[in-house]
Amino acid sequence: MAHFGNYEEHCRDFSWSISERELEYQEGRPFNIGWHCSDRICLQGKGNRTALIWEGLGDKRKEYTYTDLRIRSNVVGHHLRSLGIRAEDRVCLFMDKIPELYIGFLGVLKIGAIAQPLFSAFGDESLFVRLDNAQTSAIITQRKHVPKIRKIIDRLPSLKHIIIVDHDGRKELKERETAFDMDSAPAVESLDIHPTHAESPSVLHYTSGTTGQPKGVKHVHYSLISQYLTTKWVLDLHDDDIYWCTADPGWVTGTSYGIIGPFSMGVTQCVMDIGFSADAWYQFIERHRITVWYSAPTAIRSLMKAGDAVVKKYDLSSLRHLASVGEPLNAEAVIWGQKVFGLPFHDTFWQTETGSMMITNYPTMPIKPGSMGKPFPGITAAVLNINTFEPMSEPGQIGLIGFKPGWPSMMRTYWNNEATYRAKFKNGWYLSGDRARTDADGYWWFVGRDDDVINTGGHLVSPFEVESALLEHPAVAESAVVSKPDEVNMEVVKAFVTLKSGYQPSKDLELEIMNFIRKKLSPLAMPQETEFVDGLPKTRSGKIMRRILHAQEWGEEIGDTSTLENDD
Ligand code: 6R9
């Protein structure tokens, strides 16, 4: 039976104390996510249960029980302490989806340090701005990523330790680099868990904005109260479930629901560190008898593209509950799920800043394909007037998605950027930066973003960050970056570029620029198309009007151009 019952009844009777009670939280007492996700599960007598099943390239496979999770995260915590890492120091996790990432995350939290996960495909510049902003003390990484760190280390005086988890002795270690093998280090049976409290910082996740550098979203240990209950009620995890979250812990879905949620409930989860292919994914579900699957629209669209015949090659009968997050989930994708798996995908809407699901579909509530569902019990959501920030009670009106502050996993600030954090609140509401409408039945429908941030395959890309990186290319004079439509990723990055004198547009130059951005930032931020232009549309004050270029790419009305520079 589903953990979640009738939506209206849950809303009526709701209090976060439901979650606090189940997690035995007591105000003023120590509360630590790392402990809750490992030691507590063992104390419940579930130490022998499999916590993590991992598969990597070349048929590599590893398994960890909850006892292993407890001991190995102790090992990581102990090692970090021996290096001098203290509570609230930032420790970056810069790894592919390997066990050290999942277990290291818990180890960092156990000693009260702040976990800063970063997507391992980030290039040196993306890495630099985030490590510099956070004044990170240590980075845990793999051999293959060390060259990127070596490139920027001279500019990062705070970064004292580069901890390499798979050092094989073939290359020499340089200054500040040390080798650490999590699996073979001596077991640490008991570790003094740092007495973090509800409001102690836990995780620092970087997210993209329209202007300026990426923002470090600061979360606290109390976030577990939201993450646990949403995992239980929305993902409906039960003791015997085998769960698969396809997200990378470099992004918030991969930590909130790829580490914290499932481990705090003591279920078995699977991780696949192999690139995408429909066959590989279905095989993975079949092999591990996966029951609950949390994925993203881009992946689902790719599976749809691969066709229904591939699905039939595999026994996917273990699946019982499917969910999705990251971008709008098309109605067709929901219906396709029903057709080929006999199960619809349950869309969930939330953000790095919200820390946990906000508007979602529940196992027991009828789905309207294309709708994000309804606010989680205890969450007060409203469609706000774009100018007055007043809630609009009439269904059908489009406005800003606003949430009443105060849910447990709400971000506590943007790191070193309190002003930008404050600007997210208007008229007593937290503004998500997205637009939506509701219908007469109280279901929410996503309309679009309210800013220029590009959502490519569920990953947010800052146009500003790409523009800044483009300017560092010797041929580029000016640039403007917008999204353009794409069948699978919904949006991809498109760059408009003016060249410095002496440079000519060419296919080679376009490829060179693409590669330049891929290496510096990441494959996600790489422009899929670069258009060389003579000039960019600008306001009279000299600001590039991305809106005009965006409209052009999407075939939309351009709208008000009265502030345009060359338009008197
Ligand atoms: C969890 C996560 C947040 C932004 C958000 C919105 C978009 C997320 C969505 C969705 C439509 C959904 N988004 N879920 N749009 N329907 N179900 O993705 O966090 O990386 O911070 O992105 O993603 O635009 O504001 P994050």
pLDDT digits (tens, 9 = 90+) for 465-516: 999 999 999 999 999 999 999 999 999 999 999 999 999 999 999 999 999 9
The domain limits of the chain are 7-438, 456-554
Q: Tokens 């395959």 label which residue?
A: 457
Ligand 1 within 6 A of CB of 215: no
Instruction: Report the candidate in 384, 375, 360 with the shortest Cα–Cα distance to residue 437.
Output: 384
CB 240 within 8 A of CB 287: no
Task: Provide the mean pLDDT of the chain.
Answer: 96
Ligand 1 atom at shortest distance from the alpha carbon of 207: 21
How many angstroms separate the CA atoms of 144 and 505, rounded?
Answer: 34
| Local structure of 313: helix, strand or coil | coil
Interval 185-239: pLDDT, tens? 999 999 999 999 999 999 999 999 888 789 999 999 999 999 999 999 999 999 9
Say how many Å lie between the CA of residue 139 and the centre of ligand 1. Answer: 27
The closest residue, in CA terms, to atom 16 on ligand 1 is: 328
CB 166 within 8 A of CB 99: no
Interval 87-119: pLDDT, tens? 999 999 999 999 999 999 999 999 999 999 999
Report pLDDT for 567: 44
What CA–CA distances, in Å, run from 219 to 94, 111, 200, 206, 467? 19, 16, 8, 11, 29
Question: Position 443: which residue type?
Answer: Y
Q: Domain 7-438: which topology?
A: Rossmann fold (3.40.50)
What order of strands is seen across the sheet that includes strand 476-486? Answer: 476-486, 490-499, 529-532
Say how many Å lie between the CA of residue 167 and the centre of ligand 1. Answer: 36
The closest residue, in CA terms, to atom 4 on ligand 1 is: 351
User: What proportion of the chain, given as a percentage, has pLDDT over 70?
Assistant: 98
Q: How many CA atoms lie within 13 A of 477 on its CB side?
A: 13
Q: What are phi and psi of 244, to 5 degrees?
A: -135, 115
Report pLDDT for 491: 95
Q: Does pLDDT of 559 surpass 90?
A: no
Cβ atoms within 10 Å, residue 314: 16
Ligand 1 within 6 A of CB of 252: yes
Six token digits for residue 387: 């100018």
Pairing type for strands 268-273 and 292-295 reads unpaired
How many angstroms separate the CA atoms of 402 and 351, rounded?
Answer: 12
Report pLDDT for 538: 84
Q: Tokens 């959501």 label which residue?
A: 381
Estimate to the nearest angstrom the gap between the alpha carbon of 424 and the chain centroid. Answer: 19
CB 105 within 8 A of CB 93: yes
Task: Tell me, yes or no, if the two domains 7-438 and 456-554 fold the same way.
Answer: no
Interval 230-287: pLDDT, tens? 999 999 999 999 999 999 999 999 999 999 999 999 999 999 999 899 999 999 999 9
Report pLDDT for 565: 62
Q: Tokens 């990581």 label which residue?
A: 76
Is 456-554 a CATH 3.40.109.10 domain? no
What order of strands is seen across the sheet that includes strand 60-65? Answer: 60-65, 50-56, 268-273, 242-245, 292-295, 321-325, 345-349, 359-360, 374-375
> If you ran DSSP here, which 8-state letter would residue 120 be given?
T
Q: Does pLDDT of 568 surpass 50?
A: no
CB 233 within 8 A of CB 4: yes
Ligand 1 within 6 A of CB of 446: yes
Ligand 1 within 6 A of CB of 268: no
Six token digits for residue 567: 């338009």
Cβ atoms within 10 Å, residue 240: 9
Ligand 1 within 6 A of CB of 371: no
The closest residue, in CA terms, to atom 11 on ligand 1 is: 328
Pairing type for strands 177-179 and 201-207 reads unpaired
pTM (predicted TM-score): 0.95
The closest residue, in CA terms, to atom 10 on ligand 1 is: 327
Six token digits for residue 258: 């790829």
Instruction: Report the candidate in 217, 124, 142 with the shortest Cα–Cα distance to residue 180.
Output: 142
| Local structure of 416: helix, strand or coil | coil
Mutation choice for ligand 1 from 350, 360, 400, 430, CB with most ligand atoms inside 8 A: 350
Q: How confident is the model at residue 393 (pLDDT cuts 50, 70, 90)?
A: confident
